């Protein structure tokens, strides 16, 4: 049973957190020389705060559906000129406000939009707006969508199904000047000394090629789309946490299933009682309890 964690938090499993952080690393050179940055679907700001090391523009526009998340992100990032916006990115007014906040500052502008498009009930207003800003040279966009189709993941929080085919449909709607990337998962292992302090290892890894399966698809478009940097990241697997988390989930699931069973048994018992009481009520010529006499018997 999957555990849907749509909000990145400090408790997010390391593999997912590092995946998210890597997407923000793409932006590092862009942000270092930009005057404004908008993070659409900013969440709590955990990932950019962890990897960008304070090197983001003074004008930061943080946008999310939840005002509380935006406030947390603003506190975490601590930018000097933060614009906090909460609203639905399917709403053209919200998009216009983001655009205005970016345009208010002269210089290069960057917009990140990671793991947002799949949550939108309709994504065409966002695409239209982003395409227009990119074509006009107002901002460079970097967006990502997950490859749910490969694993046939039915995420209850995703309003659209994304995969190779859907991404191909998407990228044809973006400005022709674009950089496309696949984000791929890595697995690995390391040897460490028995009692020694934490070690650092340089890793070399060959990824990509014809049979590469993406976990996410990334598109950068706009005036500086070529400036994104591709990197790879490996983090220790938090197996202790992972084990606790999985066991907790299994334990919770078992309890939930047991409760469902108990409720079913209780329902069956009550139905038996109700049938018995109805029989008695019929014998006594009384109206059946719990039954609306105006409704036809089912």
CB of 152 to another protein, least distance (A): 4
Of the two residues 160 and 277, which places its CB atom closer to another protein in the complex? 160
CB of 147 to another protein, least distance (A): 9
CB of 260 to another protein, least distance (A): 17
CB of 219 to another protein, least distance (A): 14
CB of 160 to another protein, least distance (A): 5
CB of 155 to another protein, least distance (A): 11
Of the two residues 76 and 161, which places its CB atom closer to another protein in the complex? 161
Exposure string over 31-43, b if 16+ CB within 10 A, otherwise e: beebebbbbbbbb
User: What is the binding site for another protein (CB under 8 A)?
Assistant: 122-124, 127-128, 131, 148-150, 152-154, 160-161, 163, 165-166, 168-170, 172-173
Of the two residues 124 and 271, which places its CB atom closer to another protein in the complex? 124
Of the two residues 185 and 203, which places its CB atom closer to another protein in the complex? 185
Tokens, residue 25:
């690393």
CB neighbours of residue 27 within 10 Å: 27
Of the two residues 2 and 165, which places its CB atom closer to another protein in the complex? 165
Of the two residues 100 and 128, which places its CB atom closer to another protein in the complex? 128
């Amino acid at each position: 049973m999957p555990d849907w964690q749509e909000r990145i938090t400090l408790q997010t499993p390391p593999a997912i957190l590092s995946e998210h952080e890597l997407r923000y690393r793409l932006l590092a050179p862009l942000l270092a020389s930009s005057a404004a940055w908008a993070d659409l679907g900013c969440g709590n700001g955990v990932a950019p705060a962890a990897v960008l090391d304070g090197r983001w523009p003074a004008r930061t526009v943080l946008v999310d559906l939840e005002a509380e998340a935006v406030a947390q992100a603003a506190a975490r990032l601590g930018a000097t000129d933060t614009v906090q916006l909460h609203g639905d990115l399917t709403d053209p007014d919200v998009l216009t406000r983001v655009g205005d906040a970016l345009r208010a500052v002269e210089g290069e502008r960057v917009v990140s939009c990671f793991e947002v498009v799949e949550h939108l009930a309709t994504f065409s207003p966002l695409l239209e707006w982003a395409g227009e800003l990119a074509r006009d040279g107002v901002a460079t966009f970097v967006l990502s969508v997950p490859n749910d189709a490969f694993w046939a993941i039915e995420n209850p929080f995703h309003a659209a199904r994304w995969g190779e085919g859907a991404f191909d449909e998407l990228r044809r709607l973006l400005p022709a000047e674009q950089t496309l990337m696949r984000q791929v998962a890595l697995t690995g292992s390391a040897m460490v000394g028995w009692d020694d302090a934490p070690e650092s290892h340089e890793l070399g890894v060959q990824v990509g090629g014809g049979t590469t399966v993406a976990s996410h698809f990334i598109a950068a478009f706009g005036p500086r789309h070529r400036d994104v940097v591709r990197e790879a990241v490996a983090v220790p697997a938090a197996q202790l946490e992972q084990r606790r988390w999985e066991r907790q989930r299994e334990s919770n699931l078992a309890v939930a299933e047991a409760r469902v069973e108990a409720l079913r048994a209780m329902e069956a018992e009550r139905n038996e009682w109700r049938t018995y009481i109805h029989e008695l009520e019929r014998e006594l010529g009384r109206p059946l309890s719990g039954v609306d006499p105006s409704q036809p018997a089912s």
